[in-house]
Structure 1
């Protein structure tokens, strides 16, 4: 054993072990190993990212799984990597460029701007990995991947080319989410729905024949110039006679038809809906169904483009909204304006409202949808919690083609080239697919055409998710795939079940003809203690680096796992992270306590008693509880089982019960049994705890001499101790008897402490108990009982006749008496209890008065009435307890 400092300093210990693990390549996977494989790929954080609590939760769980798999003798590949994050990175670099030079990317040109992005990535892109290393994550850092790496880029191009040639990828004009700031299409994942205070404008649409008007409600009067119809529900009796007539469009006046469509909500607004196919998804579908014209009045950057309405032409969309209302009011066509709250889609990166926009984009018809559905339905891929399987299946049943193109410069450029003399014609064509390749005017391939000077490459890049869906196999070379694919587990958030998980499953079946993973564990969302989503604006999102500086990485991991139940959101409570640090201190001090006892006398024959056998039996059960919890991916149950065993069973009970065995002059056999048991418990326990608290367990494993017994190997590469070795020489009957006696001992000690507390005797007040035993109680048990109860002695007197008024408690070991002579002033104690009973009687009277009042019962809220009944029960219980105590003193 090596001496430990008095106080545990987590930063020193954590830095020490992180450095050693890395220098000894402890995390590196051997693809040639004969061990069974375990693999997991990290959900790649954005290259622009920094660590937040969601990352801590997700990666702590992955680390637990990886470290546990190593302990079970598996060859582990935990593959790290980052995502190029097309929009986020481009916005970040261009913002920096603008602040430094006043230039935009267009001033530099594509090639020079991309050089700038790569420079930024090389300088700033590894921040989050440095932070994950500080957390203790045991990734194979020597195999770090990036979605723009050469190998991965080739995989992305290969996937595009194969799918295009199968007819699954095509280009067409469709409705997409559009960001007017980033000037690109967005995936649904990149759109954040926010409740927004808006206004609902009710506008008069005059009937063309002059016989009246239709009132139409809208939140977007600035798009009226693009109206091509007004729709009503055919089942709405108010409007049936108007269907087929025309109204006059209020701005950029022109007659437009009144049409019938069953999707119009009768109860919403006025029941009449303006149809603007170019600027609303639902309107677009109605327009397609009714063969309506499409009029686009918005530029890509969100300005009005409508020369026929010069007052609005060129204005920003929100300026145009106010101006259009002013014009409508002047024309007498504004009926009313109401406050209105609705959900508006915002660009995740630019934080501006997105525009539904009709745009020429590349789309993918998903492959292997059937295989992906069956994999989860059959249980070949298991979702945890299981309820997410229904969400997944519903999405696959209603799947839509995927818009895979983005109007960015940073990303995987679409591997399509147009012959220069035909490029303009091809780009203007309404659609493009594999049939156009036969013209010889387009080239689709993983490499450019042989004569690149005659060709022009498509300017778009692929959606970041198009590269991410290849992640489980695209990050591995052939040797790694042969050993580690399919991967074992995936840990991710349920918010990307469609955008990443489902797509990876389809890609796995399409490109590898196999599932990409066997288990998917969906983590919870971390909220603050009030249940609010964490955000910088609310100031409720603590920095994990600050938490690690205060509580240590192990304290953060342990505390977070304790409050992370499976399937429900996590209510973050910093006090629980403090509990994680406290637990580390408790473990450290228990190890120091063991070290202070010195070495075991090899010549002494251990004499095991009930408390030794009991704690070893509980340790063996802990192995089972941990295995069961991890097999069920119940990480909080795993953490709580470890906490309960060590804090309550080992420290609070066992260590207190055996202290006499370690005192000077104690029986050598008792000392040998106790030290041997302590070593066994610590050896097994540190190994079981290691996946969640890797640093402190490594430190104590080495300091207690366990590493020396394993040829100096770190704990993280040492096999898990075999629980079958515990209690090998103890028969089942003896184990049962020991467990029964230990449980009786601990419960009796608890009753003894309660007796002391009832009479206000300090816990460290040495008293004398008398036990009238109901079973055989040997001197060893009596001695341990005195120690646990804080008693000077516990006398064993089978024929004891207690004096009247002696407090007593019926315990599993027999009737326990606490003679009060010399401990309390009996007269003063009787007076104290009488006064307390008078106070309680008054409180009971108040409660009974309220509960007997019919008016209170009828008018008060149900929870207030229930609270009053609970108070009455509590007071009555205390009254009964004190009455018994007073009776004992009379």
Structure 2
């Protein structure tokens, strides 16, 4: 706790300090009391650094956790990180190359390389967790799980063995995404499709009976060496007579059939396509339907193997393409070459074109698991928010394929399968158990066993995340970590791009192994894009590091960061130029709270979210506004300090009375003496109700909007202003009550805002709370404001009266501003057309009106037309007139009004010209025509008002 509040808002002075205090106090850990509320952190890659997608999702998760913690729930935010097989191997291999001592992955061997990975993990692998702390992540770090930890590894082995025992895991040969640089299968999520310029080649395939030929169109002519059919549409009249015949595959001499399949697009190319089942996913499906053979022509490095004719063996796939095209042209079989745009799948790590590759892998059968996973969502056991995302989930689950779970890597969970010399496979929980199985099979002898070299893909261990983090399968550990209490979790916050890769698999695996769903709600967020709607990527140079937004970064450092390590170094000049144009002064430091509030305000239920730096600047100003308003309250409640806070209080306990004999100042809810107090308390109650509604609906954007309007407009602007007459007046009871209300509403406002902007609210609360006699060391354990906390029944009249007062003050301030009257100059106010209610309100708020708008006197008149020359405003039916005599230079005012009248007449002429044109009236959209008529009416009203005002000046 600090003793005094600094004179200016500077987040660098307290954000890090406060986080260290929070974590050291243990407040992030479950308390063991109250209804459980659990969130699973999608485990970020151990190699990663915080990016805007992380910051976006982590902020929303943290807001939910802080909100429910303040609501008295027993909150657990399960932390952890993923071992990231491919990414980690690449990082460590690259570091070995940079060390320059000749060590490589292969020279170290499997065990030596894995030791190097663990060394790297210990010293450099926790960067992202440190960055998460920087944005205020209030997760239970003491329970953090790494997917390679012994507890998680035990769960992986047990799950694999059980699924294998149940016949749901098998080893087989299938087509997979193959990265020929990393020499491993990769998932669809690790494949980036890039639009590139290529060619469409038309090749003549002679019919084997010599009766003619078919012309085939292809973008990959080298794969024709593995063709096993050519294919036409069954309803294509051009080729119906050729179905069932054979063609001679050029350059190989093999005969392959002509088949018919509705997959063929008759409008593409010639309407005839080649079928290479071992090198194209769609062709693979065709091959399965037609029982075609699979001919693999590549090695794992994407060079041609011994299956192809001798002249093409050992060539890189692109060199093979050149050779094939040259020979086709020489043979007169290359019919046409035309430019063609195509989607090239590339590995997101290596950048190399992915090869569909036929290889032996481990798979999980997904038919029954998928049907069950779909059933759980359809019947509402798992709810998607927004609800439309269940359609995406349903589509994937209805078209589910067996899941390839093996990877040709060293870093990861090694597959628990052993082979004997005869090729028998023994899946076991340990090598000793495998030996036991093998001995049983061999009649007692102990054979030589070799463990499978592959590891499981990281999505397999991630699929077990909801229960592997809770100690499964060990019952004692499950009890210790609270499996029964925290499973299922309350909500998963994640992106739409991994609904299938992670969300669906967690649902299926958690249900299969525990009989529970992993989470009750799945809140799907949109994708963070830049201000122009472009996806953030390193290659585009538009990535924004959230830490740079928090701490700021110079232009020079930003350029270096964006142009270092590019996959295509030639992009560096373009990226540097764009960066210098967009950020000529670098990125200023906004602080964590401003970034968090920006994220919340942008968190709509849309698919894409554009990040606007200007919003961050605006919300830093918001934090500054809150700071200054708090200083005002604290300065005006000096001497009202309550008793010092004690430790050990429960978060749901709020003192309502002070111990006898102790001067505690204010405590509990205030008993308002003024209408302004009743009004702000009513607004507080409404805002609390809105906050509960928006949290329940995951509408963080509406939550941010509601809290912003209450904080900035209602409290910081209006109530601070409306409080001043009471604070400076002679009514001691009203002054004391107003001070109490200022403190009370500010403390409740800070609590409302805390889940979104935790740092500044904690720093301010530490100063405000003692003056209200509130027990507790942190705002984090204070009860979150709820509708009905204060009795606002009967406040409706006060609300209406204060809204009238606000309208009066706003109108008069606008008049003063337009007339450029000095702030200290007092003016006269004439009121015409007043009702009895207006007169009563004017009398009651006489002091406030005079104080807030610097009025010398207020006078009622019967007819506004008899008033001297005056500036006018209207509140309802009441006319407000401020006489101009002595306030302004009447000559200058006449000139100003004449100039304004001329401008308005010009606009009226434009409107009349458009509306007099038959072309405009008949051809423009009706809404546009109507809008123009409305503009004409508005301009005429302005002209009439100006003319009346000008006439009064003579």
TM-score using structure 1 length: 0.92
In the TM superposition, residue 337 of structure 1 has moved relative to its aligned partner by: 1.6
Q: Is the 8 A contact 1:208 1:247 kept in 2?
A: yes
Residue 531 and residue 777 in structure 1: after superposition, are their counterparts in 2 closer, same or farther (change >3 A)?
same
In the TM superposition, residue 338 of structure 1 has moved relative to its aligned partner by: 1.6
1:595 aligns with 2:639: no
Question: Which residue, out of 588, 610, 619, partners 2:675?
Answer: 610
Question: Which residue, out of 450, 454, 458, partners 1:464?
Answer: 458
Structure 2 unaligned spans of 5+? 436-445, 472-477, 552-588, 641-662
Question: Which string of whole-angstrom CA distances, capped at 9 and with x for unpartnered residues, describes residues 710-764 of structure 1?
Answer: 43421112233565342x3x6x33x111011011111222233344455565777
In the TM superposition, residue 793 of structure 1 has moved relative to its aligned partner by: 3.5
Identify the range of structure 1 (812-821 vs 472-481) with the bigger mean alpha-carbon deviation. Answer: 812-821
> Which residue in the other structure is 2:125 paired with?
125
Question: Which string of whole-angstrom CA distances, capped at 9 and with x for unpartnered residues, describes residues 407-466 of structure 1?
Answer: 1111111111122x313xx4xxxxxxxxxxxxxx62433554375872111111111111
Report the secondary structure of 1:583's partner residue. helix
In the TM superposition, residue 647 of structure 1 has moved relative to its aligned partner by: 0.5
Question: Which string of whole-angstrom CA distances, capped at 9 and with x for unpartnered residues, describes residues 478-505 of structure 1?
Answer: 1220221111111111110001101111
Cα distance in 2, alignment partners of residues 417 and 723 from structure 1: 63
Structure 1 unaligned spans of 5+? 427-440
Cα distance in 1, alignment partners of residues 348 and 672 from structure 2: 67
In the TM superposition, residue 278 of structure 1 has moved relative to its aligned partner by: 0.9
> Which residue in the other structure is 1:770 paired with?
830
1:746 aligns with 2:806: yes
Residue 312 and residue 755 in structure 1: after superposition, are their counterparts in 2 closer, same or farther (change >3 A)?
same
Cα distance in 2, alignment partners of residues 675 and 824 from structure 1: 39
Residue 856 and residue 472 in structure 1: after superposition, are their counterparts in 2 closer, same or farther (change >3 A)?
same
Identify the range of structure 1 (79-88 vs 243-252) with the bigger mean alpha-carbon deviation. Answer: 243-252
> Which residue in the other structure is 2:942 paired with?
881
1:534 aligns with 2:536: yes
> Which residue in the other structure is 1:544 paired with?
546
Cα distance in 1, alignment partners of residues 868 and 786 from structure 2: 55
Query: Where do 1:386-425 residues align within 5 Å?
Result: 386-419=387-420, 421-423=421-423
Report the secondary structure of 1:508's partner residue. helix
Q: Is the 8 A contact 2:426 2:434 kept in 1?
A: no
Cα distance in 1, alignment partners of residues 489 and 106 from structure 2: 42
Residue 342 and residue 785 in structure 1: after superposition, are their counterparts in 2 closer, same or farther (change >3 A)?
farther
In the TM superposition, residue 194 of structure 1 has moved relative to its aligned partner by: 2.1
> Which residue in the other structure is 2:351 paired with?
351
Report the secondary structure of 2:37's partner residue. strand
> Which residue in the other structure is 1:334 paired with?
334
In the TM superposition, residue 866 of structure 1 has moved relative to its aligned partner by: 7.6
Cα distance in 1, alignment partners of residues 827 and 68 from structure 2: 51
What is the aligned length?
Answer: 862
Q: Is the 8 A contact 2:217 2:272 kept in 1?
A: yes
> Which residue in the other structure is 1:378 paired with?
379
Identify the range of structure 1 (393-402 vs 120-129) with the bigger mean alpha-carbon deviation. Answer: 393-402
Q: Is the 8 A contact 1:840 1:875 kept in 2?
A: no
1:554 aligns with 2:616: no
> Which residue in the other structure is 2:858 paired with?
795
Q: Is the 8 A contact 1:173 1:358 kept in 2?
A: yes
> Which residue in the other structure is 2:49 paired with?
50
Question: Which string of whole-angstrom CA distances, capped at 9 and with x for unpartnered residues, describes residues 256-312 of structure 1?
Answer: 222211211111111000011110112122222222222211111111225754443
Residue 221 and residue 528 in structure 1: after superposition, are their counterparts in 2 closer, same or farther (change >3 A)?
same
Q: Is the 8 A contact 1:707 1:715 kept in 2?
A: no
Report the secondary structure of 2:63's partner residue. helix
> Which residue in the other structure is 1:711 paired with?
775
Report the secondary structure of 1:741's partner residue. helix
Identify the range of structure 1 (468-477 vs 338-347) with the bigger mean alpha-carbon deviation. Answer: 338-347
Question: Which string of whole-angstrom CA distances, capped at 9 and with x for unpartnered residues, describes residues 770-809 of structure 1?
Answer: 2343211254412323444x33245142657642654443
Cα distance in 1, alignment partners of residues 872 and 452 from structure 2: 89
Q: Is the 8 A contact 1:611 1:657 kept in 2?
A: yes
Report the secondary structure of 2:717's partner residue. helix
In the TM superposition, residue 177 of structure 1 has moved relative to its aligned partner by: 1.2
> Which residue in the other structure is 2:181 paired with?
181
Report the secondary structure of 1:584's partner residue. helix
Report the secondary structure of 1:298's partner residue. coil
In the TM superposition, residue 358 of structure 1 has moved relative to its aligned partner by: 1.3
Question: Which residue, out of 820, 824, 835, partners 2:899?
Answer: 835
> Which residue in the other structure is 1:281 paired with?
281
Cα distance in 1, alignment partners of residues 902 and 875 from structure 2: 30
Q: Is the 8 A contact 1:38 1:75 kept in 2?
A: yes
Residue 254 and residue 443 in structure 1: after superposition, are their counterparts in 2 closer, same or farther (change >3 A)?
closer
Question: Which string of whole-angstrom CA distances, capped at 9 and with x for unpartnered residues, describes residues 614-633 of structure 1?
Answer: 00000011110100000111
Identify the range of structure 1 (615-624 vs 562-571) with the bigger mean alpha-carbon deviation. Answer: 562-571
> Which residue in the other structure is 2:443 paired with?
none
Q: Is the 8 A contact 1:526 1:572 kept in 2?
A: yes
> Which residue in the other structure is 1:814 paired with?
878
Residue 179 and residue 765 in structure 1: after superposition, are their counterparts in 2 closer, same or farther (change >3 A)?
farther
In the TM superposition, residue 324 of structure 1 has moved relative to its aligned partner by: 2.5
Q: Is the 8 A contact 1:363 1:403 kept in 2?
A: yes
Q: Is the 8 A contact 1:42 1:81 kept in 2?
A: yes
Residue 261 and residue 720 in structure 1: after superposition, are their counterparts in 2 closer, same or farther (change >3 A)?
closer
Report the secondary structure of 1:679's partner residue. helix
Report the secondary structure of 2:14's partner residue. helix
Cα distance in 1, alignment partners of residues 679 and 158 from structure 2: 62
> Which residue in the other structure is 1:431 paired with?
none
Query: Where do 1:257-296 residues align within 5 Å?
Result: 257-296=257-296
Q: Is the 8 A contact 2:297 2:307 kept in 1?
A: no
In the TM superposition, residue 173 of structure 1 has moved relative to its aligned partner by: 0.9
Question: Which string of whole-angstrom CA distances, capped at 9 and with x for unpartnered residues, describes residues 67-92 of structure 1?
Answer: 11111111111111000111111122
Question: Which string of whole-angstrom CA distances, capped at 9 and with x for unpartnered residues, describes residues 573-612 of structure 1?
Answer: 0111111211111111111111111336789997622111
In the TM superposition, residue 141 of structure 1 has moved relative to its aligned partner by: 0.7
Identify the range of structure 1 (116-125 vs 188-197) with the bigger mean alpha-carbon deviation. Answer: 188-197
Cα distance in 1, alignment partners of residues 314 and 265 from structure 2: 33
Report the secondary structure of 1:199's partner residue. strand
Q: Is the 8 A contact 1:45 1:82 kept in 2?
A: yes
> Which residue in the other structure is 1:640 paired with?
705
Cα distance in 1, alignment partners of residues 17 and 267 from structure 2: 67
> Which residue in the other structure is 2:80 paired with?
81
Cα distance in 1, alignment partners of residues 616 and 38 from structure 2: 29
> Which residue in the other structure is 2:647 paired with?
none
Q: Is the 8 A contact 2:685 2:789 kept in 1?
A: no
Residue 352 and residue 853 in structure 1: after superposition, are their counterparts in 2 closer, same or farther (change >3 A)?
farther
Residue 107 and residue 558 in structure 1: after superposition, are their counterparts in 2 closer, same or farther (change >3 A)?
same
Residue 191 and residue 858 in structure 1: after superposition, are their counterparts in 2 closer, same or farther (change >3 A)?
farther
Q: Is the 8 A contact 1:606 1:671 kept in 2?
A: no
Question: Which string of whole-angstrom CA distances, capped at 9 and with x for unpartnered residues, describes residues 798-857 of structure 1?
Answer: 657642654443324833222222223445433433333333433443454456556678
Cα distance in 1, alignment partners of residues 699 and 610 from structure 2: 17
Query: Where do 1:35-46 residues align within 5 Å?
Result: 35-46=34-45
